[in-house]
Amino acid sequence: MAKKQKYFYDPATLSYKKIEVSPWKRIGNSFLFLLSSALFAFLFLFFSKSFLETPEEKELRREIEYLTLNYELLKSKLNVLESALEDLEYRDDNIYRVIFEAEPIPKNLRRSALAGINRYKNLDGYSTSELVKETSQRVDKLRKQAYIQSKSYDEVLELVKNKNKLLASIPAIQPISNKDLTAVASGFGMRIHPIYKVRKLHTGIDFTAPVGTPVFATGDGVVINDNGLGGSGYGLYIIISHGFGYHTLYAHLSKLVAKPGQKVKRGDIIGYVGNTGSSTGPHLHYEVIKDGVKVNPINYFFNDLTPEEYELMLRIASQENQSFD
């Protein structure tokens, strides 16, 4: 098709004349056309990138939204797991271990830091590094706490299996026959020493009784040699190891029946009341030692005292009088 010729009207000659375009003007017009086209294309791309999503961007946005939703769900599940594990730890330390008189798991062990220097270093270098590291730390912490709790339950299970042995071993009766409760002469606590006449901690209970009165083992155990729990003023005495952290001591005896290494049962005669050592009259000095600490024996007569008898013995033993040794 031939190029269309353009004309213009010349009022001076009252005629139409051809429009002659110079080569340079043609070049200039072409350049302006190309420049305007490029500018239009740039503006189109800019606005389309700014306000319109490509299929790839839409797919990435959906994936990010999906990952964000799942991360929030994961955080929620971690919160539930942490709360549940804390409840298990509380019940373990304050119920199960109390029942079986086991020491609670130390808090510093349950919450100790994970081993390794910067164990999450391989997660550095990404925009989400802190997020991923925080989640990984929480998961690892939960795994460690769950492992410690599992080992604790294994220990409690062993305690359950040994329950009958535990109940038979814990000191639970009076060491002499004392049905009317009149034999209690001096209780645990600060008392006037009969020889030195000063207030001193009395680490057991004194039972008055005639020389030769039978003395009974208050729980199952093994008679042992003195391991530092006795004393020079105790005269003839016997120490029984009951296991589970318990020992009992029977002092000022006139005769020993049980020998070191001998196994005894609760209620077995192990000796007889006497007046040996720094004693001011025939009596039995009885002590209960738990984990190396001498505790009040009055809390260990639950097998042969009614609540009313226990209240009466508690009043008698709490009187601040003079001990017999």
SS3 215: strand
Q: State the Cα–Cα distance between residues 20 and 24, nearest whole angstrom.
A: 12
Place of tokens 């910067």: 118
Measured in degrees and rounded to the nearest 5, phi and psi for residue 215 equal: -115, 130
Sequence-distant (6+) residues with CB within 8 A of 248 are 171, 175, 217, 218, 219, 221, 239, 240, 242, 286, 287, 288, 289
Sequence-distant (6+) residues with CB within 8 A of 103 are 97
Question: Over its length of 325 residues, how does the chain's per-residue pLDDT go in tens digits?
Answer: 556 777 767 787 777 777 776 777 778 777 887 888 888 777 777 766 666 667 787 888 788 888 888 888 888 888 888 888 888 888 888 888 887 777 888 888 887 766 655 777 777 777 777 788 888 888 888 888 888 889 888 888 887 877 888 888 999 999 998 887 778 877 787 666 555 555 667 788 999 999 999 999 999 999 998 776 777 788 999 999 999 899 999 999 999 999 999 999 999 999 999 999 888 889 999 999 999 999 999 888 888 877 788 888 777 777 765 455 5
The CA dihedral of 149, 152, 158, 160, to the nearest 10 degrees, is -70
Give the torsion sign (CA, 135, 141, 146, 149).
negative
pLDDT at 95: 82
pLDDT at 269: 97
Burial class of residue 218, CB neighbours in 10 A (0-12, 13-18, 19+): buried
Q: Which helix (H) or strand (E) holds 289?
A: strand 283-290
Q: State the Cα–Cα distance between residues 78 and 84, nearest whole angstrom.
A: 10
Written as six digits, the tokens of 214 are: 């039978």
Q: Which helix (H) or strand (E) holds 304?
A: none
The one-letter code for the residue type at 136 is S
- Residue 93 is classified by DSSP as I
Q: State the Cα–Cα distance between residues 120 and 118, nearest whole angstrom.
A: 5
SS3 30: helix
Domain 184-317 belongs to what topology? Glucose Permease (Domain IIA) (2.70.70)
The one-letter code for the residue type at 157 is L
Measured in degrees and rounded to the nearest 5, phi and psi for residue 248 equal: -130, 150
Q: Which helix (H) or strand (E) holds 288?
A: strand 283-290
Give the domain ranges of the chain. 7-51, 74-161, 184-317
Give Cα 272 to chain centroid, integer Å: 46
The one-letter code for the residue type at 292 is G
Q: Which helix (H) or strand (E) holds 9?
A: strand 7-10
pTM: 0.53
